Amino acid sequence: MKASYPVELDRVGDQGGRPPERPSHAEAEDAVRTLIRWAGDDPAREGLLGTPDRVVRAWQEFFRGYDEDPHEILARTFEEIEGYDEMVVLKDIRFESHCEHHLLPIIGIAHIAYLPKTRLVGISKLARLVEAYAKRLQIQEKMTAQIAGAIDEILQPGGVAVVIEAEHQCMTTRGIHKPGATMVTSCMLGGFRSDQKTRREFLAMIGTKS
């Protein structure tokens, strides 16, 4: 798969200008109270009194990726790689995201590989990169391309491969109600796109058929 839209590497929200101004914590709580009333309940009843604050604090955790900069995450690299040029693979990176269409969870795993040329990055940084993009309002196809694009631009390797497998609760808990259905997306760049042998090797490592 090749992204057909611009891959956003910097903080989402900065779209050629300043990021949108965030409402205050109190304003966000008022929005939650409005939704509770819309659902048919009373936000002033005892069991719901603390709910707006809890929801806002949960959202701070769910969407902390907007405060993460992929360039900073991947900035520290190791240039003494002793001639290592085989693929580096980190698989089964569990993540939790939220779809931008229904604000419902996307839960899955990501697999990442790259072919180093002159620089290596600590494997924890790859997991942090996944988190930086997952902790935002997302669609899976875009997130896949964002992760691959960031690695390709910042590390400038010989190739990048990203595969994401995820279950979308906007499909499993509402609408068509199909629990267990898994969406798989991939983005192959450089050597992983041009060399079928390299691509097959990566897919075999993560247990996916080519």
Kindly name the residue from 15, 60, 72, 100 that is annotated as catalytic. 100
Catalytic residue check, 140: yes
User: What distance in Å separates the CA atoms of residue 131 and residue 68, rounded to the nearest whole number?
Assistant: 9
**What separation, in Å, do the N-terminal and C-terminal C-alpha atoms of the chain show?**
13
| DSSP codes of every residue in 5-74 | S----S-TT-SSSPPPPPPPHHHHHHHHHHHHHHHT--TTSGGGTTHHHHHHHHHHHHTGGGG--HHHHT
Q: Is 169 among the residues known to form the active site?
A: no
Among 25, 27, 101, 196, the active-site one is: 101
Q: The tokens of 150 are what?
A: 């960031």
Both tokens assigned to 201:
């090797």
Q: Does 138 participate in catalysis according to the annotation?
A: no
Residue of 8, 29, 98, 99 marked catalytic: 99
Q: 90: which strand partners?
A: 112
Pure H helices in 63-184: 70-73, 123-134, 140-155, 169-172
Residue 172: other Cβ atoms inside 10 A? 18
25 catalytic? Reply is no
The one catalytic residue among 111, 140, 146, 187:
140
Residue 195, Cβ neighbours under 10 Å: how many?
15
Catalytic entry in 29, 138, 168, 187: 168
Is residue 71 annotated as part of the catalytic site, yes or no?
Answer: no
Structure tokens at 140: 């899976």
Query: Which active-site residues does the annotation give?
Result: 99-102, 140, 168, 170
